[in-house]
Amino acid sequence: MDYNKIRGAAMAYYANLSDEEQRKAWEFFKSIDTDGNGTISRREYSRSLAKMGYPDTQNAFKMLDKNGDGALDFKECITLFYIITVHNGGVFCDGCGINLWDIYFVCVGCYMAGGNTYDLCCDCYRTKNFNHQNAVFCDNFKLLRSMQPTATTASASREIAKKAIEVGQLGINAINLLNSANGIAHTANAQSDDCTIM
């Protein structure tokens, strides 16, 4: 698995954090470096992952250890910080189990239903290495784009919310309404035809 992309994203994310948030990354690093020698050993890494409730999967440590010296320095740990705090450990292929950090396929039905998603790497999707009945798959980039409300649905949602305020309902109801209106728009968009033709 190529970690260069997730590493690049982690560095970009970190560069845009406030001083306060960057300090959290440093504290994260120090909490794993239990002997305080300035690097995270394989052992410290495994223990911390177990404590945080994440599986010590495959070659993740090797991939994080960019310079291959057998330990993670702070810079290498930023990628781990990003994977855990932003991505909750990341997404795994439901066919072969690899970490998905690039383009991959998502079951639209499971995604829309909330809860667990069903995701496949391109190889598993191509070779049909999965058993997921009557599923419509869409790649993650396409799915992200299809989530964007169209100008019409967005303004329709705003109109509904505005009306609710006008008839004297509480603002919070309007927000709920706005959210549910957006939800309807999202569902309609993501199940549009161009998503099913892969």
- Given candidates 17, 47, 85, 109, which one binds Zn ion under the rule CB under 5 A? 109
Among 32, 49, 100, 107, binds Zn ion (CB under 5 A): 107
Which residue, 110 or 160, has its beta carbon nearer to Zn ion? 110
- The DSSP secondary structure of the chain, one letter per residue, reads ---HHHHHHHHHHHHTS-HHHHHHHHHHHHHH-TT-SSSEEHHHHHHHHHHHT----TTHHHHH-TT-SSEE-HHHHHHHHHHHHTTTT-EE-TTT--EE-SS-EEEHHHHHH-SS--EE-HHHHHTT----TT--EEEHHHHHHHHSPPHHHHHHHHHHHHHHHHTT--HHHHHHHHHHHHHHHHHHHHTSHHHH--
Asked whether position 91 contacts Zn ion by CB under 5 A, the answer is: no
Answer for which of 78, 124, 181, 195 binds Zn ion (CB under 5 A) is 124
Q: Which of 82, 38, 33 is nearest to 60 (CA)?
A: 82
The only residue of 77, 83, 106, 121 in contact with Zn ion, by rule CB under 5 A: 121
Least CB distance from residue 50 to Zn ion, whole Å? 25
Cβ distance to Zn ion smaller for residue 81 or 130? 130
Between residues 6 and 32, which has the closer beta carbon with respect to Zn ion? 6
- Exactly one of 9, 122, 135, 178 binds Zn ion (CB under 5 A); that residue is 135
Q: Residue 90 Cβ, how far from Zn ion at the closest point, in Å?
A: 14
Q: Binding segment for Zn ion among 35-43, 67-75, 103-111, 190-198 (CB under 5 A)? A: 103-111
Applying CB under 5 A, among 40, 65, 72, 95 the residue interacting with Zn ion is 95
* Chain residues that interact with Zn ion, rule: CB under 5 A: 93, 95-96, 107, 109-110, 118, 121, 124, 135
